[in-house]
Amino acid sequence: MRDYDNLELKQFLDVAASFILTDDSGLLCDAYNTTELGEADCTRISIMDSAHFPKWLAERQAALQSITDL
pTM of the model: 0.63
What sign does the dihedral 69-38-2-24 (CA atoms) show?
A: negative
Q: Which helix (H) or strand (E) holds 54?
A: helix 53-63
**Strand, coil or helix: 22:** coil
Distance between CA atoms of residues 20 and 54, nearest Å: 22
Q: What is the tens place of the pLDDT at every residue in 41-52?
A: 887 888 888 999
Question: What is the pLDDT confidence band of residue 19, given thresholds at 50, 70 and 90?
Answer: confident
